[in-house]
């Protein structure tokens, strides 16, 4: 592993309580992610990939252990503090794009900037840059409901990078796309990683998608199984 | 069989479509201005920036997303405020007589009830009582103009005293007043009545009575209009017509030398109680006992007799608002439920729960204010249309500041009530459950 440590998970546990039943997803999991990494996480359904990503993104709290981001602890932050931390540091990309149907492409991309103190002209510039990066400058005023899946995911990527976060968290970003479109999206993520230095953590079922990453971790029943830990 | 089914299906679809477009046409006063606003918001940068700065932009965009539901909801609110504006203004106008009645005025009527008469001699006797500044006796003439359905509110009065008591309300040209005093057949006409029939000074007008007849058997009195008075306040009543008691009394076939009631002005409101007691004590145990009340109370009981309009108004407005509350409440709850996933996404992006709570409340508040404002404007328009017709008999029917203030409070209240439960749900919504629900 090279570079500065971005994430450090120290014996993180996660237990869900369902009625009287306790389901342990993770038991004392250790994990670290370096700045500039492009990590793919694979594993069977129910192995805890989304849960792990949620904990990395601070939308879910571990029930035990510690999560460090840039050497400061984040799992103990309050809901409001976490929201601000997410807005500043993380871009999210979802399987089903999760765009706002009442906003056009540019307004969707602008959404995270409404959380900043940027002026409208600064916002406009950032949105233009992000849209240009994903190759959708000419679709800025289109409604996203009229776009193809690949285009929608590109809008989502633009939204994720518009506030220039260090880290992108992607949960099966190509799960809903055909091979060709998926390759376009993955190349784009690779570009963001290589050229713009974004650290990326991507959950995927698809080995071909994982091949775009620098390294792949295989998760099974809450533990990383050593398959091909090429780092 | 399938053919018939297809036909029926087609008819239903056609009906549905027709209903939709009929509704959209009817509700156009609501969504047309909204469209304009929506256009401005998207295309004028500073409007949009202002909305963004106040966190109103996203709630506003959310209102646009389901046009038919939006139109239905806002239309419901619109109707409620239309009813509110019109009925409250009506109620206010009805009560204007109560509010405008001067505090220093009393009314003395027969104790049995106010339709029973009193002897004319009472006027003299009451004048002598200490604290009585001036006094005018009045008779209800039961007047109508040509057609018994064309009622004219006509009083036979002591013409010399009318303005001494009621001059604070009535605005009358000096020479007109003098001419009216001089001419025994002179008629003093309220502005609204004059407008209604197109009467002007100098016109010869016959008025019939549906109560009294003259010695010759006729029930028609001939008059010459000598003056038209207007109100000193916007809401003052100018529906009355006044003429000389002497002209009335001398012609009567029966029941002469009787008066209907006394209008009294005291030297000061603080001594009203004393004067009331002095008057009623004076005639106690006489064949004609009196009851003296402040004019405000008299007007109030008079209105009460006309059916409790206040109650009708309050209950209709409350019913309308209750229905609207349910409709809008459900609509909001449904809208927010449908957006569960989006709210989860927004929270993930870093919007705090408090901020989302506020946005949901703002949305219901904007709905209420939009529908309410347009509804109030429409009621103002309706009132203008109604009152501009010369046939309309009610003075002072208008939306005053108080009604508008109350309406604004109602809008905020409606927005809060209908938005609070969805807003709390949005506040509490957990990101993980929101995002896994798809
Ligand atoms: N809120 C919750 N309450 C209870 N159990 C949960 C909750 N969220 C997840 N789980 C359970 O945790 C386990 C891991 O879920 P997770 O969504 O992380 O799996 P995954 O690896 O992302 O699966 P998939 O590939 O199907 O997306 C599953 O067994 C799931 O049922
Ligand atoms: Mg998953």
Find the CATH number of the domain harbouring A191: 3.40.50.300
The per-residue pLDDT for range A46-73, each reduced to its tens digit, is: 899 999 999 999 999 999 999 999 989 9
Domain limits for position B204: 117-287
Q: What percentage of chain B has pLDDT greater than the value 70?
A: 92
Say yes or no: B129 and B256 in one domain.
yes
Say yes or no: B340 and B402 in one domain.
yes
Alpha-carbon dihedral A90, A93, A99, A103, rounded to 10 degrees: 50
Q: What distance in Å separates the CA atoms of residue B201 and residue B224, rounded to the nearest whole number? A: 8
Nearest to B65 among A80, A92, A101 (CB): A101
Q: Tokens 């920036």 label which residue? A: B49
Q: Tokens 């508040």 label which residue? A: B365
Which protein residues have a CB closer than 5 Å to ligand 2 (ion)? A 50
Query: A50 in ligand 1 pocket by Cβ < 6 Å?
Result: yes
Strand (E) or helix (H) holding A220: strand A215-220
Q: What distance in Å separates the CA atoms of residue B266 and residue A177, rounded to the nearest whole number? A: 91
**Interchain pair A92, B353: CB under 8 A:** no
Closest by Cα among A36, A29, A37, A34 to A12: A29
What is the mean predicted confidence (pLDDT) over B343-363? 94
For residue B334, is it within any domain? yes
Say yes or no: B339 and B398 in one domain.
yes
Closest by Cα among A52, A131, A59, A133 to A90: A59
Give me B117's structure tokens. Answer: 């008469």
Q: What percentage of chain A has pLDDT greater than the value 90?
A: 74
Tell me how far the alpha carbon of residue A223 lies from the centroid of ligand 2, in angstroms: 15
pLDDT at A20: 87
Q: What distance in Å separates the CA atoms of residue B428 and residue B42, rounded to the nearest whole number? A: 31
For residue B7, is it within any domain? no
**Closest alpha carbon within chain A to B341:** A98
Q: Which of B253, B287, B321 is the last residue of a domain?
A: B287
pLDDT at A67: 93
For residue A6, is it within any domain? no
Mean pLDDT, chain B, integer: 87
For residue B109, is it within any domain? no
Give me B132's structure tokens. Answer: 């009585």
**Closest alpha carbon within chain B to A86:** B350
Residue A31: phi and psi, rounded to 5, are: -165, 145
The per-residue pLDDT for range B77-134, each reduced to its tens digit, is: 999 999 888 888 877 777 666 666 667 888 999 888 878 889 999 999 999 999 999 9
Say yes or no: B330 and B369 in one domain.
yes
Tell me how far the alpha carbon of residue B411 lies from the centroid of ligand 1, in angstroms: 44
For residue B51, is it within any domain? yes
For residue A178, is it within any domain? yes
The per-residue pLDDT for range A217-226, each reduced to its tens digit, is: 999 888 888 6
Alpha-carbon dihedral A161, A164, A168, A174, rounded to 10 degrees: 10
Say yes or no: B247 and B142 in one domain.
yes
For residues B91 and B303, the answer to whether their CB atoms sit within 8 Å is: no
Residue B305 has pLDDT above 60, yes or no: no
Say yes or no: B317 and B260 in one domain.
no
**Residue B112 DSSP SS3:** coil
Q: What distance in Å separates the CA atoms of residue B38 and residue B60, rounded to the nearest whole number? A: 8
Residue A229 has pLDDT above 80, yes or no: no
Say yes or no: B145 and B279 in one domain.
yes
For residue B293, is it within any domain? no
Q: What percentage of chain A has pLDDT greater than the value 70?
A: 96
For residue A19, is it within any domain? no
Say yes or no: B89 and B154 in one domain.
no
Domain limits for position A194: 36-61+78-226
Show the DSSP H helices in B101-143 as ranges.
121-127
User: How many structural domains is chain A composed of?
Assistant: 1
Q: Which of B230, B256, B287 is the last residue of a domain?
A: B287
pLDDT at B399: 78
The per-residue pLDDT for range B126-175, each reduced to its tens digit, is: 999 999 999 999 999 989 998 888 888 899 999 999 999 988 888 899 99
Residue A230 has pLDDT above 50, yes or no: no
pLDDT at B308: 63
For residue A68, is it within any domain? no
Q: Which of B287, B318, B339 is the last residue of a domain?
A: B287
The per-residue pLDDT for range B42-67, each reduced to its tens digit, is: 888 888 888 988 889 999 999 888 88
For residue A218, is it within any domain? yes
Residue B203 has pLDDT above 70, yes or no: yes
For residue B256, is it within any domain? yes
Say yes or no: B142 and B198 in one domain.
yes
For residue A5, is it within any domain? no
For residues B62 and B55, the answer to whether their CB atoms sit within 8 Å is: no
**Interchain pair A87, B354: CB under 8 A:** no
pLDDT at B37: 86
pLDDT at A35: 93
Say yes or no: B266 and B177 in one domain.
yes
Residue A203 has pLDDT above 90, yes or no: yes
B52 vs A contacts (CB less than 8 Å): 114, 120
Interface membership of B53 toward A (CB under 8 Å) = no
For residues A62 and A139, the answer to whether their CB atoms sit within 8 Å is: no
- Worst-scoring range by mean pLDDT, A33-37, A94-98, B29-33? B29-33
Say yes or no: B278 and B182 in one domain.
yes
The 10 Å CB-count burial string (b at 16+, else e) for B245-280 is bebbbeebeeeeebbbbbbbbbeeeeebeebbebbb
User: How many structural domains is chain B composed of?
Assistant: 2
How are beta strands B151-157 and B240-244 bridged, if at all?
parallel
Give me A214's structure tokens. Answer: 């620098």
The per-residue pLDDT for range B355-408, each reduced to its tens digit, is: 999 999 999 999 999 999 999 999 998 888 877 765 555 556 777 888 899 999
pLDDT at B394: 59
End-to-end CA distance of chain B: 40
How long a stretch of residues is chain A?
Answer: 231
Q: Confidence class of residue B309 from pLDDT cuts 50, 70 and 90?
A: low
For residue B4, is it within any domain? no
Q: Tokens 């409101």 label which residue? A: B269
Residue B278 has pLDDT above 80, yes or no: yes
Say yes or no: B215 and B267 in one domain.
yes
What is the mean predicted confidence (pLDDT) over B176-195? 92
Query: A44 in ligand 1 pocket by Cβ < 6 Å?
Result: no
């Amino acid at each position: 592993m090279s570079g500065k440590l971005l994430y450090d998970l120290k014996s993180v546990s996660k237990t869900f309580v369902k009625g009287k039943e306790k389901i342990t997803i993770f038991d004392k999991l250790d994990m670290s992610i370096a700045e500039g990494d492009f990590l793919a996480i694979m594993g069977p359904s129910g192995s805890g990939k989304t849960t792990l990503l949620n904990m990395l993104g601070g939308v879910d709290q571990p029930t035990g252990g510690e999560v460090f981001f840039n050497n400061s602890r984040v799992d103990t932050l309050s809901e409001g503090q976490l929201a601000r931390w997410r807005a500043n540091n993380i871009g999210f990309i979802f399987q089903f794009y999760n765009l706002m149907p009442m906003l056009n492409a540019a307004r969707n991309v602008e959404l995270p900037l409404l959380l900043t103190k940027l002026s409208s002209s600064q916002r406009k510039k950032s949105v233009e840059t992000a849209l240009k990066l994903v190759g959708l400058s000419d679709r800025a005023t289109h409604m996203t409901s009229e776009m193809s899946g690949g285009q929608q995911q590109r809008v989502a990527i633009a939204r994720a990078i518009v506030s220039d976060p260090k880290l992108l968290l992607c949960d099966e970003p190509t799960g809903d796309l055909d091979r060709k479109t998926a390759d376009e999206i993955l190349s784009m993520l690779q570009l963001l990683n290589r050229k713009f230095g974004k650290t990326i953590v991507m959950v995927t079922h698809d080995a071909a998608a994982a091949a775009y990453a620098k390294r792949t971790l295989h998760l099974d029943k809450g533990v990383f199984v050593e398959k091909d830990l090429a780092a | 069989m399938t053919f018939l089914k297809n036909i029926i299906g087609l008819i239903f679809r056609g009906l549905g479509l027709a209903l939709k477009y009929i509704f959209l046409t009817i509700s156009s006063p609501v969504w047309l201005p909204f469209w304009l606003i929506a256009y401005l918001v998207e295309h004028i940068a500073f409007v949009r920036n202002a909305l963004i700065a106040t966190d109103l932009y996203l709630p506003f965009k959310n209102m646009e997303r389901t046009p038919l539901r939006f139109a239905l909801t806002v239309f419901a609110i619109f109707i409620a405020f239309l009813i509110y504006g019109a009925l409250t203004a009506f109620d206010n106008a009805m009560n204007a007589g109560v509010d405008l009645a001067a505090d220093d005025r009393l009314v003395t009527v027969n104790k049995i009830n106010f339709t029973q008469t009193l002897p004319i001699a009472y006027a003299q006797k009451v004048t002598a009582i200490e604290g009585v500044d001036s006094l005018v006796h009045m008779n209800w003439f039961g007047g109508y103009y040509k057609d018994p359905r064309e009622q004219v509110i006509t009083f036979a009065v002591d013409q010399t005293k009318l303005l001494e008591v009621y001059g604070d309300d009535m605005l009358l040209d000096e020479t007109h007043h003098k001419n009216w005093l001089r001419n025994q057949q002179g008629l003093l006409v309220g502005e609204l009545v004059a407008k209604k029939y197109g009467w002007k000074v100098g016109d010869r007008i016959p008025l019939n009575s549906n109560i009294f007849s003259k010695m010759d058997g006729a029930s028609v009195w001939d008059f010459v209009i000598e003056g038209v008075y207007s109100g000193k306040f916007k809401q003052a009543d100018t529906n009355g017509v006044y003429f000389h008691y002497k002209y009335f009394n001398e012609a009567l076939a029966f029941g002469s030398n009787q008066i209907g009631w006394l209008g009294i002005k005291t030297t000061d409101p603080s001594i009203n109680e004393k004067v009331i007691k002095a008057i009623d004590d004076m005639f106690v145990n006489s064949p004609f006992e009196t009851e003296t009340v402040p004019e405000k109370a008299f007007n109030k009981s008079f209105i009460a007799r006309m059916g409790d309009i206040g109650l009708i108004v309050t209950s209709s407005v409350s019913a309308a608002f209750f229905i609207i509350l349910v409709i809008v409440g459900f609509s909001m709850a449904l809208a927010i439920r449908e957006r569960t996933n989006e709210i989860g996404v927004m929270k993930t992006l870093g919007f705090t729960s408090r901020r989302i709570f506020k946005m949901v409340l703002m949305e219901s508040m904007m709905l209420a204010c939009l529908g309410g404002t347009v509804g109030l404007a429409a009621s103002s328009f309706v009132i203008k249309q109604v009152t501009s017709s010369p046939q309309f008999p009610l003075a002072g029917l208008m939306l005053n500041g108080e009604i508008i203030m109350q309406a604004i409070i109602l809008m905020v209240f409606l927005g809060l009530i209908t938005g609070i439960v969805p807003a709390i749900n949005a506040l509490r919504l957990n990101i993980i459950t929101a995002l896994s629900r798809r």
